[in-house]
C-alpha cells in the first residue's frame, strides 16, 4: 500500500529505522539538515531531497524522527515543509515518531486532516497523521525491535502496521490523535521515577551496610521488582550489559530524559493534574545535566546524584 516512503531525521534512531525499511524492500527517499548523514544514504544509492516538501512530493507516506517539538513543527509547517503550498499533499499518511507533546500532535493531526490529496487511492479520502513514538533505544532501532505506540485514526494505524513491524517488534494502538505521544511521555515518567526510586533504595541500603547485589536480589523476588531493578540495574557490577556496567555510556541520556520530563510537566500543567513526582524527577535529571552528566545514561542518577561522584 505504501511503496514510496519518505524519511526525515536520520540521527541515532532515524538512520537505523530508515535502514530497516530499506532492508524490508520499501523505496525510501531521505532528508536531513546534516549533510554527513545524507551522504551515508546517497552513497548506498538511496535518493535524497533538499526539503521536506520535495520528500512529500515523492512519497505515499512520510515518517519523521526529529529531536523535539520545534523541529517537527518546522518540518511540517515551516517554509518548504511537508504542508507547504496550500492545502494539497501527495502522501496519504504522515507519521511522526519523534517524542513530542500530545497537544502539538493533536493540533498537527487536525491541520493535516484539513488538506486534500492530490490523488485519492483505495480508502484514502483525506491525508491522515499518526503520532507513533517509540520505546527502545538505538540498539532496538538497529535490531528492528522497537515498540510503537500509536495515536490517530484506527484504519490508518492498521494500514501502517506492516511499516511499524518492519522497524519494530510491537505496535500498540492507543486511541485518537495525541494518545501515542501521551503514552510515550507517561511511560518515560514512570521509568524516570522508578529509576530514582530504585537508586535511592539501593543507595540507602549501601549506607545501612547491605551490598547492592543481595539487595537487588531481594527486590527482584519481592514487591520492589521493576524494570529499573531487574533489567537495567543502576549499580555498576550488579548486571552485565547495562549502561551502569560500562561507566553509564550508551543507553538513554539524562539529557533526553530531562527533555521528556519537560514535556510531561507541560502536559500536566495543561490538564491541571497535580504531579509532584514529575517536578522532583525533572529537578534531579536537570541537576545531573548541569553537573556535566547530560550525555551519560539516565541510570547514572545512582552514582552521580546520590554519591556526587564525578567518575
- Listed ranges 27-35, 156-164, 232-240, 273-281: which one lies at the site for ligand NAD (CB under 6 A): 27-35
**11 interacts with ligand NAD by CB under 6 A:** yes
- Provide the CA 208 distance to its chain's centre, in angstroms: 38
- Provide the CA 147 distance to its chain's centre, in angstroms: 10
Site for ligand NAD in 85-124 (CB under 6 A): 98-99
**8 interacts with ligand NAD by CB under 6 A:** yes
Q: Of 39, 49, 121, 184, which residue is the catalytic one?
A: 184
Active site residue 184: yes
Closest CA to 30 of 9, 11, 12, 61: 9
**258 interacts with ligand NAD by CB under 6 A:** no
Which residue number is nearest to ligand NAD in terms of Cβ?
11
**33 interacts with ligand NAD by CB under 6 A:** yes
Per CB under 6 A, the list member of 5, 134, 212, 238 interacting with ligand NAD is 134
Instruction: Report yes or no: 83 and 76 within 8 Å, Cβ to Cβ.
Output: yes
Number of Cβ within a 10 Å radius of residue 9? 27
Cα 35–57–155 angle (5° rounding)? 110
**232 interacts with ligand NAD by CB under 6 A:** no
**175 interacts with ligand NAD by CB under 6 A:** no
- Listed ranges 5-13, 82-90, 218-226, 268-276: which one lies at the site for ligand NAD (CB under 6 A): 5-13
Instruction: Report yes or no: 85 and 115 within 8 Å, Cβ to Cβ.
Output: no
- Listed ranges 11-19, 123-131, 150-158, 298-306: which one lies at the site for ligand NAD (CB under 6 A): 11-19
Instruction: Report yes or no: 187 and 272 within 8 Å, Cβ to Cβ.
Output: no
Name the residue nearer to ligand NAD (CB basis): 38 or 224.
Answer: 38
Instruction: Report yes or no: 44 and 15 within 8 Å, Cβ to Cβ.
Output: no
Name the residue nearer to ligand NAD (CB basis): 30 or 177.
Answer: 30
- Listed ranges 134-142, 167-175, 227-235, 268-276: which one lies at the site for ligand NAD (CB under 6 A): 134-142
Residue whose C-alpha cell is 543507553 = 251
Closest CA to 235 of 265, 286, 270, 200: 200
Residue 210 CA to residue 297 CA, distance in Å, equals: 25
Instruction: Report yes or no: 80 and 52 within 8 Å, Cβ to Cβ.
Output: yes
- Least Å distance, CB 212 to ligand NAD, is 25
Closest CA to 298 of 266, 259, 268, 241: 259
Q: Just list the catalytic residues.
A: 184
Applying CB under 6 A, which residues contact ligand NAD?
8-14, 31-34, 37, 65-68, 71, 74-75, 98-99, 134, 137-138, 252, 256
Amino acid at each position: 500500500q505504501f511503496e514510496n516512503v519518505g524519511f526525515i531525521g536520520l540521527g541515532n534512531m532515524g538512520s537505523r529505522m530508515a535502514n530497516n525499511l530499506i532492508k524490508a524492500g520499501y523505496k525510501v527517499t531521505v532528508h536531513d539538515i546534516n549533510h554527513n548523514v545524507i551522504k551515508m544514504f546517497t552513497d548506498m544509492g538511496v535518493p535524497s531531497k533538499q526539503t521536506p516538501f520535495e520528500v512529500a512530493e515523492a512519497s505515499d507516506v512520510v515518517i519523521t524522527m526529529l529531536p523535539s517539538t520545534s523541529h517537527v513543527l518546522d518540518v511540517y509547517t515551516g517554509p518548504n515543509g511537508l504542508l507547504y503550498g496550500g492545502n494539497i499533499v501527495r502522501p496519504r499518511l504522515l507519521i511522526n515518531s519523534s517524542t513530542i507533546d500530545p497537544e502539538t500532535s493533536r493540533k498537527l493531526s487536525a491541520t493535516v486532516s484539513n488538506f486534500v490529496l492530490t490523488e485519492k487511492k483505495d480508502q484514502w479520502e483525506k491525508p491522515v497523521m499518526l503520532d507513533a513514538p517509540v520505546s527502545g533505544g538505538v540498539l532496538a532501532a538497529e535490531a528492528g525491535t522497537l515498540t510503537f505506540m500509536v495515536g490517530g485514526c484506527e484504519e490508518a494505524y492498521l494500514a501502517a502496521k506492516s511499516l511499524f513491524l518492519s522497524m519494530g517488534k510491537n505496535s500498540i494502538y492507543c486511541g485518537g490523535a495525541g494518545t501515542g505521544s501521551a503514552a510515550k511521555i507517561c511511560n518515560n515518567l514512570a521509568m524516570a521515577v522508578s529509576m530514582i526510586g530504585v537508586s535511592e533504595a539501593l543507595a540507602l541500603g549501601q549506607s545501612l551496610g547491605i551490598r547492592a547485589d543481595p539487595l537487588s536480589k531481594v527486590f527482584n523476588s519481592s514487591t520492589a521488582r521493576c524494570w529499573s531493578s531487574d533489567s537495567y540495574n543502576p549499580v555498576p557490577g550488579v548486571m552485565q550489559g547495562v549502561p551502569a556496567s560500562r561507566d553509564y555510556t550508551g543507553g538513554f541520556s539524562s539529557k533526553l530524559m530531562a527533555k521528556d520530563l519537560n514535556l510531561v510537566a507541560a502536559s500536566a500543567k495543561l490538564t491541571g493534574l497535580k504531579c509532584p513526582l514529575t517536578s522532583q524527577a525533572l529537578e534531579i535529571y536537570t541537576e545531573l545535566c548541569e553537573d556535566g552528566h547530560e550525555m551519560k545514561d539516565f541510570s547514572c542518577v545512582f552514582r552521580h546524584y546520590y554519591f556526587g561522584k564525578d567518575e
